[in-house]
Amino acid sequence: MHCEARTLSDSASTPNTATGDALAASYDDVPYTSAPSPARHPERLATIGQLLGLDVPPVSNCRVLELACGDGASLLSIAATLPDAHFVGVDFAAQPIARARRMADAIGVANVELMQLDIRALPPDLGRFDYVIAHGLYSWIRAEVRAHLMPAIARHLAPGGVAYVSYNTLPGSYMRAVVWDMLKYHTREIADTHGKLVPARALLELVATPVATDSAGQQAMRSEVRDTAQSSDAALAHDDLSEPNIPVHFHQFAADAARAGLAFLAEAHANAMTVAGLAPHVRETLARLDRISREQYLDFIYFRRFRESLVCHSEALSRAVVEPARTLRLHALPSLEVRTAAARGEGNAMDAQASAIVRVLLERWPQSVPVAEIDARRKRDATQASPPTERLVLDLYGAGMIELRTAPISIARVAGERPRAFSAARWLTRDHEVIPSLYHAPLRYRDPLGRALLALLDGSRTRAELCAELGGPFAGAEGPGRLDRALGVLAGKALLVA
């Protein structure tokens, strides 16, 4: 196939139809650092597809296409953990693709092709992919460009495949748009994206300052302004100040997908579809609606501002009903929220049966546990009638307390004599604020010594050599003990390779 014949270097000569595009220039001007998220991992797409009855391709040797892959930090981190899978990342901005190529070379991934291409001009022979990812694209491009996205996904998605699309949604984005409008007005005379950042932050500071007579509505808007002020430069430049930035209602998104022969499958975060916190009469009203309307009204109720939706070919989706028995084929992990609460010694409000499952998962972290094993253990230990494992696992998943995946991965619980950390995390720890765990979780790891240690863990150094090279608190008699503890922290973040 055509794209398989291309190498990393010869794809550099791919013609870029977007040369001179102001949007491409803005991404060359202010770098957007692509952050990891389990929701953008083919594992998540496969898991949700499988639960909803799709015949999804196995992840281990799947084909993944990322449209608008940016600096590739997300795609390459995934590729580094799936050596038998094949990845293609396209983006029309030159600088991000150049950074992606540098990272690919540095971490030695050979299963990724990176191409500087406009999504409006994808080669017809690009091929079909089991999983397609388009993050940060749909609502940040002009309508004329957006019109190409769903047809491109439909063309390049394999029959049983699943695609991820994120976008700003209404009605919640109306609140954000109040801030976007004032920022754009304030910086209207400044041409380069980078130059807008300082004045934009000055305006945010001005408007965030409380006024003695603030009403509840004004306080809410001021808190919106404060939230925007917390954004990184990349988010401020490419989301809040982005031109264009056109949020849509969910029903518009679903109709756009349907026109291309695609159907809404689910949200990438199972807990985004929950009705658990709603009053009974609200739930009853929603239960009478079809799937698409129900999602739309959930957006009204939650004032939703952002979605990460999964779509598939319409003909692949027969019922879109969760099949509980399929959980028994999956592997479970405690979610970040549950691990954070456990580390703080806090419990989570859940019944004893669910809590027993979470306890097992916490004990086995950072390894995942087959749900079938949990089921066998529960059946063996059952002293009384209890809810089926499938039900409990689905409830925990829907509540965001556990993660599910189709396959386990190899993660070290303890560091060896020559400790080795995840190659993508080692590379990104040098200049990315957020680094990926082996589960593609975003880690905001701030400890500078821990980061320095992580960067050295390529498996070539003994513990004694690590202590010597790090020096400072790792030198002297206390050094080995400190190193042990620091390695324990990295293991607990699922960063060490077995």
Ligand X SMILES: C[S@@+](CC[C@H](N)C(=O)[O-])C[C@H]1O[C@@H](n2cnc3c(N)ncnc32)[C@H](O)[C@@H]1O
Residues that bind ligand X (CB under 6 A): 18, 23-24, 27, 32, 34, 68-70, 74, 91-93, 96, 118-120, 135-137, 140-141, 145, 238
Tell me the two tokens of residue 255.
């109709």
The minimum distance between CB 485 and ligand X, in angstroms, equals 33
Q: Which is nearer to ligand X, 136 or 479 (CB)?
A: 136
Residues 246, 139 contacting (CB under 8 angstroms): yes
The nearer residue to ligand X, 316 or 443, going by C-beta atoms, is 443
Q: What is the DSSP letter of 11?
A: G
- Interhelix angle for 172-186 vs 216-229, to 10°? 60
- Residue 416 three-state SS: coil
Q: Choose between 79 and 93: whose C-beta lies nearer to ligand X.
A: 93
Give the residue with the Cβ less far from ligand X, 141 or 457: 141
C-beta of 129 vs 140, nearer to ligand X: 140
Measured at the CA of 336, the angle between CA 373 and CA 271, to 5 degrees, comes to 85
239: helix, strand or coil: helix
Distance CA 8, CA 32 (A): 21
Given the complex with ligand X, which of 90 and 317 has the nearer CB atom?
Answer: 90
SS3 (DSSP) at 391: helix
Q: Least distance (Å) from ligand X to the CB of residue 34?
A: 3
222 near 212, Cβ under 8 Å?
no
How many CA atoms within 13 Å lie on the side-chain side of 263? 17
Least distance from ligand X to the Cβ atom of residue 268, Å: 13
Instruction: Name the residue nearer to ligand X (CB basis): 176 or 238.
Output: 238
Q: Token pair of 426, please? A: 């080692």
The reply to whether omega before 171 is within 30° of 0 (cis) is yes
- Give dist(CA 399, CA 267) in Å, integer: 13
State the minimum distance, in angstroms, from the CB of residue 18 to ligand X. 6
